[in-house]
Amino acid sequence: MTLPFFPEDLFDDDREVLLDVVERIGRSPEQKFILGDHVARFEAEIRDSIGAADAIACGSGTSALLLVLRAMGVGPGDEVIVPAFGCAPLAAAPALLGATPVFADIDPWTMVVDPGAVARAVTPRTKVIMPAHLFSVMADMPALRRIAASTGVRLLEDSAVAQGGTLAGIPAGMWGDAGVYSFVQVKTFGMPGEGGMVVTGDPGLGEVVRMLRNHGQDGKTRFRYHRVGYNSRFDEIMAAFQLHRLPGFPRRLERRARIGEYYTGRFGELAGCGVLAPPPDRDGRCYYVYSLLCERRDELRGHLAKRGIGSHVYYRSPLPRQPAFEPFARPGDAWPVAELAARWALAIPIYPHLTDQQVEHIADAVCEFAKEP
């Protein structure tokens, strides 16, 4: 049994649909390949499904963060508080706008940003708090929203991995002033291409993001530029393909959740053996990636590989320890929990078309490793 961490057949069942979409759009008289009717329908479907005021499809989840920060007026002299453990765009997006990413440490169990660390990082220069949902756990958005409200700063929710998740009945992406999704291949609603989306309850913010993604045009008068913008437009073929796959998204997400719950049930007894599973709860979960904390991470990875099981190490160092972002680290700051997560975190397969037998095989292998003398 060979089980890769990133499966190669994610879209095999939709291969013919994708080929048909390419042909239909390629041969249509309109010859509209970006920001056409399919993109508008896709945006409307996502907007309505989460109760947003606007949903703006753009070139990637990374550019979605950049567009929102720019729409919020972030620039030189501003600070944006981000998790110390996570993906590069968290720090890169504010840095590209001339702002300073300020790194807050994370929770030792969930690996998402610690609200206490965020509160301590707020200064008069703080413009935005930007938490990120990570792996299978949503950040503590109620606490972060309280901090943002009490300090008068904006709250941007990096929900790139959390589309479909809810916390206290509120969809991921809808806790702050805006949120972003990513549709890159391996995300929960991934596609065979690159793309992202901004969702917001603020129509004015959405209007600015919509202009910024298309060179500053408002969509009414072509070649009239209201702002200095970007080229971050969404593809018609991918929009049509995602519209086809959208009805099946809840089923695929539910399968991921069931696999995650099975893992957590099996791994609950392993904490004393040096393997810690994520918290056992449905609320505030997204099941993009199932990541364990293991004191002997590299040994566990080798153990799984011998049994044909792929695994993946995310973020081998905290963001402020990366060469690109070290210059932004404030003297004297430390991120001990992020350092620990970088040494211990290991993700195992959780994609929806794993069979029950395969899931059991993966869980058996982890338990065997943890319990061996």
Same domain, 128 and 243: yes
Cα–Cα nearest to 248, from 182, 189, 168, 307: 189
Residue 343: give its domain's CATH number: 3.90.1150.10
Q: Kindly give the pairing relationship between strand 345-348 and strand 79-83.
A: unpaired
What region, left, alpha or beta, does residue 341 occupy, with left being phi > 0 and alpha being psi -120 to 50 degrees? alpha
Give the pLDDT confidence score for residue 70 in this predicted structure.
Answer: 98
Give the pLDDT confidence score for residue 29 in this predicted structure.
Answer: 84
In a domain, residue 1? The reply is no
The whole domain housing 183 covers 12-105+112-247
Residue type at 75? G
Same domain, 153 and 173: yes
Same domain, 266 and 366: yes
Same domain, 208 and 136: yes
In a domain, residue 219? The reply is yes
Given 225, 247, 269, which residue is the final one in a domain?
Answer: 247
Same domain, 120 and 237: yes
Structure-block tokens of residue 77: 């002299």
Same domain, 239 and 259: no
Contact assessment for residue 173 and residue 163, using Cβ atoms and an 8 Å cutoff: yes
Cα separation, 163 vs 188, in Å, equals 7
Cα separation, 121 vs 205, in Å, equals 25
Cα separation, 214 vs 40, in Å, equals 14
- Would you state the torsion angle of the CA atoms of residues 282, 288, 294, 298, taken in this order, to the nearest 10 degrees? 170
Give the pLDDT confidence score for residue 372 in this predicted structure.
Answer: 82
In a domain, residue 6? The reply is no
Contact assessment for residue 304 and residue 348, using Cβ atoms and an 8 Å cutoff: yes
Angle at the Cα of 176 from the Cα atoms of 261 and 174, rounded to 5 degrees:
55
Residue 183: give its domain's CATH number: 3.40.640.10
Give the pLDDT confidence score for residue 32 in this predicted structure.
Answer: 85
φ and ψ of 67, to 5 deg: -60, -45
Contact assessment for residue 280 and residue 265, using Cβ atoms and an 8 Å cutoff: yes
Give the pLDDT confidence score for residue 61 in this predicted structure.
Answer: 95
Give the pLDDT confidence score for residue 290 in this predicted structure.
Answer: 95
In a domain, residue 3? The reply is no
Give the pLDDT confidence score for residue 373 in this predicted structure.
Answer: 67
Same domain, 205 and 289: no
Cα–Cα nearest to 198, from 70, 338, 334: 70
Same domain, 90 and 23: yes
What region, left, alpha or beta, does residue 152 occupy, with left being phi > 0 and alpha being psi -120 to 50 degrees? left
Same domain, 275 and 130: no
Same domain, 183 and 48: yes
In the chain, how many domains are there? 2
Same domain, 257 and 354: yes
Cα–Cα nearest to 141, from 112, 120, 164, 111: 112
Contact assessment for residue 70 and residue 286, using Cβ atoms and an 8 Å cutoff: no
In a domain, residue 4? The reply is no
Residues 167-189 as b or e (16 or more Cβ within 10 Å = b): beebbbbbbbbbbbbbbbeebbb
Q: What is the pTM of this model?
A: 0.93
- C-alpha 8, offset from chain centre: 21
Question: Could you tell me what percentage of the chain is helix, strand and coil, using 3-state DSSP and rounding each to the nearest 5?
Answer: 40, 15, 40
Given 187, 219, 247, which residue is the final one in a domain?
Answer: 247
Given 213, 247, 281, which residue is the final one in a domain?
Answer: 247
Q: Give average pLDDT by consecutive 10-residue segment, the chain, 373 residues.
A: 84 88 88 90 97 97 97 98 97 98 97 97 98 96 98 97 96 97 92 95 97 92 90 94 95 96 94 91 92 96 96 96 96 95 97 94 96 78
